[in-house]
Amino acid sequence: MRWKGRRVSSNVEDRRGGGGAKAGGISILGLVVAFVAWKFFGVDPQTAYQATKQVTNQGQSAETRGLENPTPEQQESMEFIGTILADTEDTWTQVFAEQLNQQYVPPKLVMFNGAVSSACGNASAAMGPFYCPADQKVYLDTGFFKDMRTQMGISGEQNQTELSRQDQAGDFAQAYVIAHEVGHHIQTILGISGQVQQMRQRASQVEGNQLSVRQELQADCLAGVWAHHNHQRTQFLEQGDVQEAMDAAHKIGDDYLQKRSSGQVVPDSFTHGTSAQRVQWFNTGLKSGNMNDCDTFGQAI
């Protein structure tokens, strides 16, 4: 994926400099890979907060420190995330104007290590990337992409040249993660998230899960819409990039993850959609580039 040399967003908030919220007894290393991957994508921050409520808030001043002496890898991660966020800003500004005749208001993105405090509560890295509608910020633990590469089968035993090449090859799958969370921001500013929350309060557990699935699939579709228009603007996609994003979408389907973790699949408990659904809806947005095609609430999924 071609990403270097473009604008870097000023809406990135770096909280990686130590301090901040600390998680009590919750470690990403203690979770099975399938569960971690499930939580990595489109997690409901208020639900995840219940699983991480042992997190303690150490104060905003400590949290907002960036890294004093970032390694080259950490600096590149910052630049990559900032570039992808800028791509979402520029692309959605164009799409909102052309398709909705509205002005796009972008979210902030918070980079953190280990744990973080948000307007949706305190959270540990175990819950993975999430979007908080209360403060309209995307939260991303910087160790996530390493775990993602492991989940997608990139071995740590390769030589540096091979690892660098494969890290670059996985860039679009990582961009898909950011674009998915920005999709939740779009749902918030368009009023979709609020409507879903109201319906879920009146629904049964199974019905609420089904609404959550539709919301997550719509965010996948919006990520595809972004990729469609961003490629038109920047020609950033290279051979193999789309397949890697499809593979990522497949590997975070509820059925795939449940079968991998427990050997059983319980459809009524799905909250994000099956592998086939996630691939289908990302591909729908990618092919058409039309937000109207992302109406997962008004048609069969």
- Three-state SS string over 140-162 comes to EECCHHHHHHHHCCCCCCCCHHH
Nearest to 119 by CA among 163, 196, 63: 63
Query: Does the residue 196 lie in any domain?
Result: yes
Query: Does the residue 37 lie in any domain?
Result: yes
Domain count, the chain: 1
Is the predicted pLDDT of residue 5 greater than 80, yes or no?
A: yes
Between 243 and 293, where is the model more confident? 293
124-180 per-position pLDDT tens digit = 877 788 999 999 999 998 787 777 777 655 333 333 333 343 344 478 989 999 999
Rank 27-36, 45-54, 227-236 by mean pLDDT and report only the highest: 227-236
Rounded mean pLDDT, 218-231: 97
The one-letter amino acid code at 250 reads H
Of all residues in the chain, the percent with pLDDT exceeding 90 is 50
pLDDT at position 50 is 42
Query: Does the residue 285 lie in any domain?
Result: yes
Across all residues in the chain, what is the average pLDDT? Answer: 80
Find the domain containing 78 and state its range: 12-294
Query: Does the residue 5 lie in any domain?
Result: no
Query: Does the residue 4 lie in any domain?
Result: no
Query: Does the residue 299 lie in any domain?
Result: no
Alpha-carbon distance of 139 to 159, in angstroms, equals 31
Residue 66: which pLDDT band, with cuts at 50, 70 and 90? low
209-218 per-position pLDDT tens digit = 999 999 999 9
pLDDT at position 151 is 62
Query: Does the residue 193 lie in any domain?
Result: yes
Residue 267: which pLDDT band, with cuts at 50, 70 and 90? confident
Say if residue 197 is exposed, middle or buried (CB neighbours under 10 Å; 0-12, 13-18, 19+).
Answer: middle
Query: Does the residue 173 lie in any domain?
Result: yes
Alpha-carbon distance of 148 to 247, in angstroms, equals 12
- Residues 46-68: b if buried by 16+ CB within 10 A, e if exposed: eebbeebeebeeeeeebbeeebe
